[in-house]
Structure formats: C-alpha cells, structure tokens
Amino acid sequence: MDVLERIAEQVRNHPVVIYMKGTPQFPQCGFSLRAAQALKDCGVPFAYVNVLQDPEIYENLPRFANWPTFPQIYVNGELIGGCDITLELHARGELKPMLEQAVAKAGGQD
C-alpha cells in the first residue's frame, strides 16, 4: 500500500488521531508533548502515530494535507492543525466538544 493511502486509511479509521514525535506517554518534542497533553486533558480516546518509528510517514505526511510540521491532529478525517491551533482550541473550550462529537459519530471507537 502506498504511504499516502496508509495515511488516508489511518485518518479515515480513527475519529481522532495525532501524528507526533514519540508517543503520548513518551513524547520526543515539546510541541508533541503539549498537543498530546491537550488531547489527554479532554478525556476522549484518540489514536496516535509515532512518526519517528515510520520514516515513510515522517517524510510524506507533510504532503498529505500540505502541512509542513509535526504534530498534526486529525478529527473526523480533517486536519485541525498542529500544536498551536490545538492549544488555542483547548484554551477556548472548543477542543473537547469537537473530540467528543467525532468519537460519538464514529460509535465510540478509539
């Protein structure tokens, strides 16, 4: 399977997914740490992909949605942004309802 097809499948199959450096438990950069923490603070399940363990995704994800940096957070199959946008949504109280709606729409998976 082509790497862009793999990314599309991951985004499609998970209501909330973060592409990050490291894992939510052991982030490997400050931006990934803060974005993953904002997601965890919402109490909504989410998937993650450690881009450092998959060089193909690391190299090609920026082409997928024309977003050059990591982390990248997808909700309902759409890129919502990176760390700064995620933190802004969280600070305004908009992130949690957005994530809850995505997970409910998907039937509670992930």
Cα distance from N-terminal residue to C-terminal residue, the chain = 23
Residue 43 CB neighbours (<10 A): 9
Instruction: Please give the Cα distance from 70 to 103 (Å, whole number).
Output: 23
Residue 29 annotated as part of some ligand binding site: yes
Binding residues for [2Fe-2S] cluster: 29
Binding residues: 29
